[in-house]
Structure 1
């Protein structure tokens, strides 16, 4: 059993993302004088757009002509790890990627004590916190996300790597003026992060055995008359049904915490040492009966936004 924890994330804006090694734009900036062809792509204010009709001087954001000339493709690569919404639509299957490493520094401007990364493809993650006026980092830890298989010398040298996809840490020193540097390293490959959340961790009970993991894919299969199939690949979504016990005097506090997260993504963690119980998403219903002997139980289903 472990503490069931939720971390509402702070919004990461250009003012908060103070340093990074990621390109500022995925495509050329939009210009009114350019004659765009179908399929051309542009970047405007951290968002990408694709031309769906040939056009000139039809701004992707302000043009109201029907049918529209542009299709929103969502956030640029740099910000996909922080936001996946296109209006009210949350786009699954997107991530931030960069050759060799993703190296960024966040300045929250407020107290935080937790950080989570999900959908990681990397060999290691280093988290460093620094505070102005303090010569040494106040926090500096490196976490291995890919380990050699154990059990025998043969397995160590020739066996497959054991990998972790998610990381959650709740021991960040809560300085209000700290910078948090995150280095996601993938030497010789491509570093990838699905979502990164920084915020203040809140306890909402104790996760227990009975928690279950789910995965739904959205590919479509069309069968032809001769038995052949056409498979159209689409995204997939993880889900976790957390089984949680909670003391009677914690129920109101947990309800208040979850009320503030209606339709809002957050980091949910059943046990930080079990990376498959770390998920960023939205929760479904929260129902708990009256506690018996000051002990209540509830199921919290969280659907991933990855």
Structure 2
């Protein structure tokens, strides 16, 4: 059993991104004088757009389609640099997207407020290093490296020839709560592609104790169409993970827990059943909060969380 925590995420704006080598633009800037063809892509204010019809002078942001003039552009969402912080395309959150870079993703954020927690999900890397510095202090106030893959143990054969054991998610709640700190995150995948599905930083709040009975789920959205001759056509789409947390809490914590969950209603947040169990770490939204009246000052509730990564 472990403390059940939720972290409402701080919005990561360009002003808070102090250092990041990844480009602000994935494609060339929109040019009103260019004759665009179907499939051409442009970047406007860190959002990617793709041309759906041949057009000239139809700005992706301000263009208004009509019955006679169909939409010229489709919004493809945030550029690679910011995709790990925001997957929204309008009001739609796109699953299966991520920030990626060869060998390493290395950036520094200045939140501008106190935080004590950080979470990363959908991580493809050998390690994640988190470094926290504050002005006027020579050494970092926090500097830890977390292995995201390791060799399976048990025997010398497993060590030298066995497959790697990997972790997809990371959550830490021991960051010193300075209000003027810079947070550097280094996601390393030497010789490969570093990848992060989503990241959240903020102030962790306890909402009970996660107990046995918590269950994991995964729903895929690919479709399989069977033809008359028995052949099949598979259309690959994303998948979404879910967790049904079983949580206990004292009777006097029920109202405060309800208030905390009200604050994150329909807001992407970090939910953690046990930080040492990476499969109970999820960034998403919760669907239901069902609790009964407490017995002998102990209550139980179920919290269903769906992933947005």
**TM-score interval w.r.t. the shorter chain?**
over 0.9
1:92 is aligned to 2:88? no
Q: CA deviation at 1:65?
A: 2.6
The residue that corresponds to 1:162 in the other structure is: 165
Alignment counterpart, residue 114 of structure 2, candidates 111, 116, 122 = 111
- Asked if 1:246 corresponds to 2:222, the answer is no
State the partner residue of 1:304: 307
Output aligned runs, 1:189-200, within 5 Å.
189-200=192-203
- Report the TM-score, using the length of structure 1 for normalisation: 0.99
Tell me the alpha carbon deviations over residues 58-84 of structure 1, each in whole angstroms, 9 at most, x when there is no partner.
000001132110000001101110011
Deviates more, 1:282-291 or 1:163-172: 282-291
1:201 paired residue number: 204
Q: What is the CA–CA distance in structure 1 between the aligned matches of 2:101 and 2:19, rounded to whole Å? A: 15
Aligned to 1:264: 267
- CA-to-partner distance for each residue in 1:71-100, whole Å, 9 max, x for gaps? 000011011100111111111000000000
**Cα distance in structure 1, aligned partners of 2:34 and 2:90:** 27
Q: Deviations over 1:163-207 (max 9, x none)?
A: 000000000000000000000000000000000000000000000
User: What is the distance in 1 between the residues matched to 2:200 and 2:233?
Assistant: 38
- Could you tell me which runs of 5 or more consecutive residues in structure 2 were left unpaired when the two chains were aligned: none
Q: CA deviation digits over 1:27-49, x for unaligned, max 9?
A: 00001000000000000111000
Match of 2:148 in 1: 145
Show the counterpart of 1:6. Answer: 6
Equivalenced residues, count = 306
In 1, Cα distance between the equivalents of 2:252 and 2:179? 30
Q: Which of the numbers 211, 219, 222 marks the counterpart of 1:219?
A: 222
Corresponding residue number in structure 2 for 1:64:
64
Does residue 23 in structure 1 map to residue 7 in structure 2?
no
Partner of 1:187: 190
Give me the whole-angstrom Cα distance separating, in 2, the residues matched to 1:229 and 1:185.
39
Alpha-carbon distance in 1 for matches of 2:94, 2:245: 24
Structure 1 counterpart SS, 2:14: coil
2:298 maps to 295
Residue in structure 2 matching 1:122, options 120, 125, 137: 125
CA–CA separation in structure 1 for the residues paired with 2:65 and 2:168: 44
TM-score (norm 2): 0.98
Runs of 4+ in 1 over 4 A off after TM superposition: none
Q: What is the CA–CA distance in structure 1 between the aligned matches of 2:46 and 2:304, rounded to whole Å?
A: 32
The aligned counterpart of 1:35 is: 35
Distance 1:173 1:158 in 2: 40
- Identify which range, 95-104 or 82-91, moves more after superposition: 82-91
